[in-house]
Amino acid sequence: MGRYILKRLAMLIPVILGVIFVVFFIMDLAPGSPVNQMVSENATEEEIQAIIDEYGFDDPLLVRYGRYIWDLLHGDLGRSYTTKQPVLELYLQKLGATAQLAISAILLAMIMSLPLGIYAAVKQNKWQDGACMVISLLGLSIPNFWLGLMLIILFALHLGWFPASGNRELISIVLPAFTEGTGLMAFLTRTTRSSMLETIRADYMVTARAKGVTRVASVMKHALKNALIPIVNASGMQLAYVMAGSVLTETVFAWPGVGRQLVIAITDRDIPVITGFLIMGATITALINLTVDIVYAYVDPRIKVQYATKKKAKKTPKAKEEKAA
């Protein structure tokens, strides 16, 4: 297992290199230059040239790429062109708010989707199933930014129960988390339902009922436990997605998170911030995926065995070599 985790961590390196290259390439193709954002309107040619020289904007793409990687190896993600703040520091500053939103949204989504999905599966093809699916379809089809605005109008402007934007008090989390959570809920409900549909028909369910296990207990204990793998997988994917920054929700609620900062950076053509945030996003996504894979092993003992056999499979060729020698 430890070996497996190390291997997965090592696989992060090519992923990050790839992400950096793609970001560099795209930013290079995009029209305009960051210089315009960095100098005053009536800057002279010399001043502009000085900045170009200082940052090496004229260097070939590969040279800039190499320089960036070199800095990255030293733990330096560069500084923002506009605020001169180190990118990593800026990212960590914004990560807290995003994590807070992401975790509340995913928890809210799970609390809603697990009962809905299980209930829909148990009542398959009956009206209750239809009702659950309509709710989840609504969650999927209502755009986040629209739902966010509607919630602000109703709960912030008219009722005044929650603040409309920002993250100054604990209660501020409610509207953004609900907005983000409904979208996630829709997908999770569908995953839960289809996964449960498979397991409630399994032979071991009849075995359980034949033992005298009640209908409810057989669903909650036997079927759900077996249905968890796809649910854990979907939740992990959703969490990774929100952790990378839920741009729309964060923007609508002026939530001081990663997504909103990224939008600001893109408008400013603040390339170090964009690149740094995307790298961190990719890293966090990969780490969440890895965590999900580790959780699998605890949910399903058969997967744990697979990790073990992978190790053994590696040992065999070695053993053969030794024999040959």
Partner 1 sequence: MSEIMKNDDIVLQVEDLRVEYHTDESLVKAVNGIDLTVRRNQTLGLVGETGAGKTTTALSIMNLIPDQVGVIAGGSITLEGKKTLEMSDEEMNHIRGKDVAMIFQDPMTALNPVTTVGDQIAEALRIHEGLDKKAAAEKAGKMLEVVGIPAERANEYPHQFSGGMKQRVVIAIGLSCNPHLLIADEPTTALDVTIQAQVLEIMQELKEKFQMSMIMITHDLGIVAEICDEVSVMYAGRIVEHGTLEDVFEHTKHPYTEGLFNSLPDINDRSRKLTPIPGLMPDPANLPQGCAFAPRCRYATEECTKAVPEKRWISDTHYVACSAYDDPAFHIERKVD
Interface residue list for partner 1 (CB under 8 A): 124-125, 202-204, 206-215, 222, 225-226, 299-302, 305
CB nearer partner 1, residue 48 or residue 303: 303
Whole-angstrom distance between the N-terminal and C-terminal Cα of the chain?
Answer: 30
CB nearer partner 1, residue 113 or residue 226: 226
* Residue 142 CB partners (closer than 8 Å, separation 6+): 182, 183
What is the residue type of 202? A
As measured in angstroms, the least distance from the Cβ of 161 to partner 1 is 43
**No. of H helices and E strands in the chain?**
16, 0
Sign of CA dihedral 42, 44, 49, 50: negative
CB nearer partner 1, residue 33 or residue 207: 207
As measured in angstroms, the least distance from the Cβ of 215 to partner 1 is 7
What is the C-alpha to C-alpha distance for residues 307 and 295, in angstroms, rounded to an integer?
13
In DSSP terms, 86 is beta-bridged to 79
What is the C-alpha to C-alpha distance for residues 148 and 250, in angstroms, rounded to an integer?
10
As measured in angstroms, the least distance from the Cβ of 189 to partner 1 is 21
CB nearer partner 1, residue 178 or residue 296: 296
What is the C-alpha to C-alpha distance for residues 221 and 248, in angstroms, rounded to an integer?
38
What is the C-alpha to C-alpha distance for residues 56 and 174, in angstroms, rounded to an integer?
45
As measured in angstroms, the least distance from the Cβ of 239 to partner 1 is 23
CB nearer partner 1, residue 61 or residue 305: 305
As measured in angstroms, the least distance from the Cβ of 299 to partner 1 is 7
As measured in angstroms, the least distance from the Cβ of 228 to partner 1 is 8
What is the C-alpha to C-alpha distance for residues 215 and 209, in angstroms, rounded to an integer?
7
As measured in angstroms, the least distance from the Cβ of 71 to partner 1 is 47
CB nearer partner 1, residue 211 or residue 323: 211
CB atoms closer than 10 angstroms to residue 79: 18
CB nearer partner 1, residue 8 or residue 123: 123
In DSSP terms, 79 is beta-bridged to 86
